[in-house]
Amino acid sequence: MTDGLKWLQCPICKETVYWKVPEKVLKNVKRFPTPVIIKHEDHYVVCYVDSHYQVADTEIASAFIEAKAKE
């Protein structure tokens, strides 16, 4: 278990971003890796976090739109 700050180089603006894994939320996650969306300035970075709270992958999202599935 780690609750320290994590950091990554923002793939969009190349600045170092410090972020914290929301462990309380991750405890309820059943499947890993799970995406964590980090808002940075006016863009978003999607990190995939594995069950050890390590970053498995990052993705660029220049915009983030939450879609609602129709039932």
Task: For the beta carbon of residue 45, count every other beta carbon within 10 angstroms.
Answer: 23
Residue span binding Zn ion (CB under 5 A) among the ranges 4-12, 30-38, 46-54, 63-71: 4-12
**Could you give the angle at the alpha carbon of 8 between the alpha carbons of 61 and 65, nearest 5°?**
20
Nearest to 47 by CA among 24, 2, 17, 15: 17
The residue (of 6 and 40) whose beta carbon lies closer to Zn ion is 40
Q: Which of 2, 7, 9, 13 binds Zn ion (CB under 5 A)?
A: 13
Q: Indicate whether 37 belongs to the interface with Zn ion (CB under 5 A).
A: no
Q: Indicate whether 61 belongs to the interface with Zn ion (CB under 5 A).
A: no
Site residues, Zn ion (CB under 5 A): 10, 12-13, 40
